[in-house]
Amino acid sequence: MKTAIKLALSAVALCALSAQSMAQELRMTVWTGNEAHLKMLNGIAAGFIAKHPGVTVKFETVPVADYTQKLTFQVAGGNAPDIAWMMEDAAPAFENAGLLMDIGPTLKATEGYNFEDFSEPAMALWQKDGKVYGMPFSTSPFLIYYNKDMFDKAGLEDPNQLAAKGEWNMQKFQEVAKKVTDANPGKWGFEFKDGEGYASRMTHALLPPVRAYGGDLWANGQCGLDKPEAVAAVKQLHDMVFKDKSIVPPGEQGDYFSGNSAMTVNQISRASKMPEAGFKWGIAPLPSGPAGEAPVIGQAALTVFASGKNTELAAQLVAEMTSRDNVAVMAQFFPPARKSVLESNAFVNSNKLIPPEQMKSVAAAIVNGRVHPSHEHVPQIFAAMAPRVDALWRADANVEDALKGVCAAIQPLL
Amino acid sequence: MAGKAFRDNAARAAGAPWLTLKTREMLEAWLFVSPTLIGFLIFFLGPLVAIFYYSTTEWNLLSQQATFVGLRNFHNVLLENPDFWHVVRNSVIFALGLVPLNMALALSLALALSRPFFGVVFFRTVFFAPVVTSAIAWAIVWKFMLQGEGGAVNQMLAWIGINGPNWLREPNWAMAAVIVTRVIKMVGLNMILYIAALQSIPRDYEEAATLEGASRWQVFRMITWPLLAPTTLVIMVLTTIGSFKVFDHIYQMTGGGPENGTLVLAFYIYQQGFKFFNVGYAAALALIMFVIVMALTLVQVMLRRRDME
Amino acid sequence: MTARRTEILYRICWTVALLLLAVPFVFPFLWMISGGFKSTTEIFGTPTLIPRIWRFENFVEVFTYQPFARQYFNSLYIAATVTVLTLFIASLAGYALARIRFAGAGLLMLFLVMALMVPEEVTIIPNFFLIRAMGLIDTHWPLVLLPVFGPQGVVATFLMRQFFLALPKELEDAGKMDGLSRFGVWLKIALPMSRPALAAVAIITFLHSWNLFLEPLIFLSSLEKFTLPLALSNFNDSYGLPLWNLQLAATSLAVVPILIIYLIAQRQIIESFALSGVKG
């Protein structure tokens, strides 16, 4: 009798087990709610499901504003997703906490994957001691967006024309920003990225000029903002805001996309906002500086959580999503880190909104660009920076002292 | 249905001879308070005790590793962290600005609106309306209106020749702005409480005093104000506690900035615990906040007691 | 005659002063609603109260951009649940504390007073772990449990106790003589008499839940589970940038119905506060 019950029980257990393995669900958190993005992702997932019957893939949108925080709550709540989009600034913290799986073996074992195709600088953040913690799906350089109409009104050459003549540098940038502001009363020459240069994107405002002058926010555990190169770069920005009044000042809105600023810095994904903008526009590389050209890249990767039930399957999905074909598909929104795709004509022609020759400069920036500096304690660093950067953005601030203050605040954390 | 079963049980208990009246009463009382009590133990007292334990650990929410560190968190908070005293200072300034302003305005409005006159309903409605509005919505709108040059507030000030500051970008102005907008949001509630209290004061007292030639101010000072004392105490205590709790308003309007000028305790705890994931450190902060709020409340109650005696 | 004239003058002065004072209370609502009908470009252009172009589609996009109707419903049903539960539990406990003398009552009161003084921010961290242990992260449970059993529930208990204390005892005694149990007295006599207090407690509780922000921020991560305050701060595009006009349109949608209910019921609301003796 007892054995019979045992048998029956184990049969039930077996059924339950196999039922579970037949209906495997992979959950992936993303921060986009954009319909076109989700449609594309689901399309890629459909290809994976076709090869792995019984598997379902669910994309869960977590709002971008608190994405990293909410992801942490899911992890701390014992409810980590199988796969997550990960921002560059969050990666080290998750990696150091041992939460991410090494997906290298799976990727390298995947037929036709060609791991070496990913450009080395693009992989820098995601590899450690030969282990691979994430595969970049978006490696997106910072670019200058300009309002052609406003430049025409001022009778100026636009940044692209200047770049073609090799004159597009930080000095010229300040000059045209001032002129275009004077020619367009009530508007500005330049707006920081997304108009958030004094708040959530404070480092995105500082980084491009600082890099152009040969500095960095921090490197090798050393704060770089009080170095002469960085001070000179920020002084120039400060003058543009408060002396030339050509950059949208703190507390004001000069939305580029609404036609209130002649230039801004952004990534190619924002081109999708341009058709409704109602003015002629273009993109150009970031202005070069004393240190030459210094493209800046924003990056995001696919990571697999080690705590998941189906980590191997999840890693296979990552391999599928970052295969050559699918990277090419995603390139319409998310610039690739695969050299073969970057060099292809398909990529240069992939964006309906951006002409091929401008896409070539995008591709060049991806290959040469360096990612925004990262660190395990990025949230703390940003929080320590914020009040001191606020002090920097006052009309009467002494730039050098303010930057020393920034460094004093963040050095202990580095 | 449940009510009937309950009643039957109670009736049976009533019929049980082995239960004295007193024990039965006690059982009933504990039965009545048991839902509150059980919830209170689980969701309040337990966590409060847990905070003591958490505060002695170094605990990272991400890696989920906790190590016992004794009183190090307190040492770090109180002695090594210059931001902490700045944050306490901000919280105190916020409370010192908000509580008197809120109470004075609430009392003035209540005095003006406690008796019927043409339009009284309109005014009561207007001053109470922000109370029913979500704090986030309120903060979103004010953040817009307080923008530098283009903001609605500064445009209005410009009509009367005032060149308004860049409200949310200057630390002191930002603090003033969050205090005032919070008062506007919350004053209606205290106003209603005062109106309720004023209406329960018998009219004859004031009328008698007026007949004897007392001025309006004298009537208020000698009769109305003393009679309002219990209400004033409750309002003061609740408003003070409320001012230390302020979170959503700051979160949406300034995010603690500029230059940490509006970084208050509640927000700082949130930041440490849920942005930086330092659970132990945040717990130490929470415990300190608990002590501060408790002490302030007791002081207020004691001062008022002495006043009244 | 002159006395009357000064009285009238006095009234006019008061009314004008009140009208001026009312501006910062009313203007944000007008500005918010008008902004909800504008395009982003116009919001940042020269501010006018009447939109130049009425963009009604903002109010449609609010619902297509995120599951706003669902989020609206979440807020409504959570607030309603919290209110009903709080009313039940708080009036039970408040009644016992007001009417029955029992051992431990003093101690209980002391503990409850303490709960009044402790901000939610203090206990939120252990509560996070508690809710996690219960497996209720990213559910609506914590948004019901924490307010009902937290400081807000205690406030409600105190208000009910104060009110019951002020009620005449005679009717209840009569009820007891008629053979009603304690529960029966509470249900059939005490509760019906305490409508103003129940109304006041219901309003305070509902608004508290409706406005709750920290708890949803910490416990919820899926969009379709969001509550209104969280949803309002989430009208951002896929890059985290605020969509100002949608945010204002959504804010109007969140605020206006409550305002209308309040306008219709404002006399009763204010009376219930007055009658409930919330004054403490």
Name the residue among A64, A259, A260 with its Cβ closest to that of C240: A64
Domain-located, residue A13: no
Contact A33 C40 (CB under 8 A): no
A61: β partners: A30
For chain A, state the CA radius of gyration: 24
- Angle (CA) A243 A248 A252, round 5°: 120
Residues of A in contact with C237 (CB under 8 A): 34, 273
Contact B40 C125 (CB under 8 A): no
Contact C111 B230 (CB under 8 A): no
Name the residue among A94, A251, A380 with its Cβ closest to that of B62: A94
Q: Tokens 């589609």 appear where?
A: C57
Domain-located, residue B243: yes
SS3 state at B191? helix
Q: Does A196 touch chain B (CB under 8 A)?
A: no
Residue A11 buriedness (CB in 10 A; 0-12 / 13-18 / 19+): exposed
Domain match, A170 and A149 both: yes
Instruction: Indicate the residue among B72, B99, B115 that finishes a domain.
Output: B72
Q: How many Cβ pairs closer than 8 A exist between chain B and C?
A: 272
Name the residue among C66, C132, C234 with its Cβ closest to that of A65: C234
Per-residue pLDDT of chain B (309 residues; tens, 9 = 90+): 444 545 555 545 455 556 677 788 888 889 999 999 999 899 988 999 999 999 999 988 887 788 899 899 999 889 888 889 999 999 999 999 999 999 999 999 999 888 888 888 889 889 988 988 888 889 989 998 998 777 889 888 888 888 888 899 889 999 999 999 999 999 998 998 898 888 878 888 878 888 888 888 888 888 889 889 888 988 898 899 899 989 999 998 998 878 899 999 999 999 998 888 888 999 999 999 999 998 988 888 888 777 665
Task: For residue A249, give Cα distances in angstroms to A197, A238, C46.
Answer: 9, 10, 17
Contact A65 C132 (CB under 8 A): no
Domain-located, residue A11: no
Domain match, B145 and B290 both: yes
Domain-located, residue C26: yes
Handedness of CA C56, C57, C63, C68 (dihedral sign): negative
Are β-strands A127-128 and A131-132 bridged in parallel, bridged antiparallel, or unpaired?
antiparallel
Domain-located, residue C92: yes
pLDDT at residue A17, as a whole number: 45
Neighbour tally for C47: CB within 10 Å? 19
Residue type, A211: R
Residues of B in contact with A76 (CB under 8 A): 61-62, 64, 277
Domain-located, residue A353: yes
Q: Which domain holds residue C39?
A: 2-44
Are β-strands A296-304 and A135-141 bridged in parallel, bridged antiparallel, or unpaired?
antiparallel
Domain-located, residue A53: yes
3-state secondary structure C109-174: HHHHHHHHHCCHHHHHHHHHHHHHHCCCCCCCHHHHHHHHHCHHHHHHHHHHHHHHHHCCCHHHHH
CA distance B33 to chain C (A): 4
Residue from B145, B131, B235 nearest B182 by CA: B131
As given in the structure block, the two tokens for residue B99 are: 């509580």
A273 DSSP assignment = G
CB hemisphere CA count around A270 (13 angstroms): 22
Domain match, C82 and C218 both: yes
As given in the structure block, the two tokens for residue A32 are: 């986009």
Whole-number mean pLDDT of chain C? 86
Q: How many Cβ pairs closer than 8 A exist between chain A and B?
A: 63
Domain-located, residue A36: yes
Contact A390 B257 (CB under 8 A): yes
Task: Work out the widest C-alpha separation in chain A, in whole angstroms.
Answer: 96
Neighbour tally for C81: CB within 10 Å? 16
Residue from B185, B224, B188 nearest B109 by CA: B188
Q: How many Cβ pairs closer than 8 A exist between chain A and C?
A: 68
Contact B147 A251 (CB under 8 A): yes
Are β-strands A55-61 and A24-30 bridged in parallel, bridged antiparallel, or unpaired?
parallel
Judge contact between A132 and A102, C-beta under 8 A. yes
* Residue of A41, A61, A268 to mutate when probing chain C, most C C-beta within 10 A: A61
Task: For residue C245, give Cα distances in angstroms to A237, A393, A394, C28.
Answer: 30, 28, 29, 15
Domain-located, residue B99: yes
B152: β partners: none
Which B residues in the span 46-105 are in contact with C, Cβ-Cβ below 8 Å?
Answer: 46-48, 50-51, 54
- The whole-angstrom separation of Cα C153 and Cα C145 is 10
pLDDT at residue C111, as a whole number: 84
Handedness of CA B168, B170, B175, B177 (dihedral sign): negative
Per-residue confidence band for A10, with pLDDT thresholds at 50, 70 and 90: low
pLDDT at residue C102, as a whole number: 84
Q: Which domain holds residue A238?
A: 143-294+377-413
- What kind and span of H or E run contains A281? strand A281-284
Domain-located, residue A15: no
Query: Which residues of C have a CB under 8 Å from any CB of A?
Result: 40-41, 44, 65-66, 128, 132, 135, 137-138, 217-219, 221-223, 233-234, 236-241
Domain match, A276 and A326 both: no
Domain match, B188 and B280 both: yes
The arithmetic mean of pLDDT across residues A44-69, rounded, is 89
As given in the structure block, the two tokens for residue B154 are: 């500064």
Q: Which domain holds residue B38?
A: 21-72
* Choice among A127-141, A341-355, C184-198 with the minimum mean pLDDT: A341-355
Nearest-by-CA chain C residue for A77: C132
- The whole-angstrom separation of Cα C179 and Cα C187 is 14
As given in the structure block, the two tokens for residue C158 are: 């105190």
Per-residue confidence band for A169, with pLDDT thresholds at 50, 70 and 90: very high
Q: Does A96 touch chain B (CB under 8 A)?
A: yes
Tally of domains within chain C: 2
Instruction: List the chains bordering chain C where 3 or more Cβ pairs fall under 8 Å.
Output: A, B
CA distance A30 to chain C (A): 10
- Tell me: pLDDT of C227 over 50: yes
pLDDT at residue C278, as a whole number: 54
Judge contact between B232 and B307, C-beta under 8 A. no
pLDDT at residue A210, as a whole number: 95
Contact B258 A387 (CB under 8 A): yes
Residue from A145, A143, A146 nearest A156 by CA: A146
pLDDT at residue A153, as a whole number: 93
Domain match, A271 and A173 both: yes
Nearest-by-CA chain A residue for C42: A258
CATH number, residue A363: 3.40.190.10
B65: β partners: B60
CA distance C128 to chain A (A): 9
A100: β partners: A305
Domain-located, residue A9: no
Domain-located, residue C163: yes
Domain match, A208 and A277 both: yes
Domain match, A244 and A386 both: yes
The arithmetic mean of pLDDT across residues A233-251, rounded, is 93
- The whole-angstrom separation of Cα A92 and Cα A378 is 9
Contact B145 C31 (CB under 8 A): yes
CA distance C25 to chain A (A): 23
Residues of A in contact with B64 (CB under 8 A): 76
pLDDT tens-digit readout, A352-374: 788 888 888 888 888 888 888 88
As given in the structure block, the two tokens for residue A274 are: 């341009």
The percentage of residues in chain A with a pLDDT greater than 70, rounded to a whole number, is 94
As given in the structure block, the two tokens for residue A399 are: 């730039």
- The whole-angstrom separation of Cα B109 and Cα B118 is 15
DSSP track, C69-80: HHHHHHHHHHHH
Handedness of CA C206, C211, C216, C222 (dihedral sign): positive
Task: Give the length of chain C.
Answer: 280
CA B291 to chain centre: 16
Contact A72 B150 (CB under 8 A): no
Contact C100 B25 (CB under 8 A): yes
Nearest-by-CA chain C residue for B145: C28
CB hemisphere CA count around B179 (13 angstroms): 23
Domain match, C38 and C73 both: no
First-residue to last-residue Cα distance in chain C: 42
Domain match, A59 and A95 both: yes
Where do the H-state alpha helices sit in A243-369? 311-321, 324-330, 339-342, 345-348, 356-368
Residues of C in contact with B150 (CB under 8 A): 44, 47
Domain-located, residue B14: no
Domain match, B81 and B56 both: no
Contact C103 B26 (CB under 8 A): yes
Whole-number mean pLDDT of chain A? 88
DSSP track, A118-149: B-HHHHGGGEETTEE--EEEEEEE-EEEEEHH
Residues of C in contact with B102 (CB under 8 A): none
Contact B258 A390 (CB under 8 A): yes
Domain-located, residue C178: yes
CA distance C213 to chain A (A): 14
- The whole-angstrom separation of Cα A15 and Cα A21 is 10
* Strands (DSSP E) found in chain C: none
Judge contact between B87 and B268, C-beta under 8 A. yes
Task: Give the length of chain B.
Answer: 309
pLDDT at residue A345, as a whole number: 83
Domain-located, residue B146: yes
CA distance C174 to chain A (A): 54
The arithmetic mean of pLDDT across residues A124-146, rounded, is 91
Domain match, A239 and A307 both: no
* Choice among A19-28, B12-21, C167-176 with the minimum mean pLDDT: B12-21
Tally of domains within chain A: 2
- What kind and span of H or E run contains A212? helix A202-212
- Tell me: pLDDT of A224 over 80: yes
A281: β partners: A147
